[in-house]
Amino acid sequence: MCLCFLALGGDASARSRSEKKCRKAMERLGMKAITGVSRVTIKQSKTATFVLLKPDVFKSSQSETYVMFGVVKMEDMDAQLLTEAAEQSKASVPSSIISKGEQSVAEAQDDEVVDETGIDKKDVELVMAQAPVSRSRAVKALKAADGDIVSAIMELTN
């Protein structure tokens, strides 16, 4: 299968003279217009994709050759995946707050200053990042686990 795509104007009134000539040449070659195509995606690499929205597609009657006319846009798949992940995390936050309602209230009341002697500040920050809790709860959990970060995180997330 052979694909050719030309990045030319979209509607008929905005077509240049050379685009009109190219379209006529496609018809003279026996290529038939295909209707109902709303999107064409061409994947170049794992992260780069070319997209034609509402293209004009012609197919050769003699082979599997397609020519597409339309405006080419490049989609960045990494950015799209990051956006989807951000949307999913936003959607999951309210349900986790609802399910941990009583725990959230306890955390709000648990913001007292706790003695951090004998506990490394980096360990406290790591526990706070892994188990979203207040600084005082992280310190208390680390002290209860004798400074063991993994045990403290496991205790706070269960």
CATH number of the domain residue 69 falls in: 2.20.70.30
Percent of the chain residues topping a pLDDT of 90: 0
- Domain span at residue 55 reads 2-76
Overall number of domains in the chain: 2
State the Cα–Cα distance between residues 63 and 110, nearest whole angstrom.
Answer: 72
- Examine the fold and report which residue of 60, 76, 92 is the final residue of a domain before the chain moves on: 76
Q: Who has greater pLDDT, 155 or 2?
A: 155
**Cβ partners under 8 Å of residue 55, min gap 6:** 5, 37, 39, 40, 68, 69, 70
Q: Is the pLDDT of residue 117 over 70?
A: yes
Q: Quick one: 25 and 63 in the same domain?
A: yes
- Residue 90 is assigned to a structural domain of this protein: no
* Model pLDDT, residue 12: 63
- Mean pLDDT across 85-111: 55
Within a domain: 134: yes
Structure tokens at 155: 């205790």
The answer to whether residues 110 and 48 belong to one domain is no
Residues with Cβ within 8 Å of 70's Cβ and at least 6 positions away in sequence, in order, are 5, 7, 8, 10, 40, 52, 53, 54, 55, 56
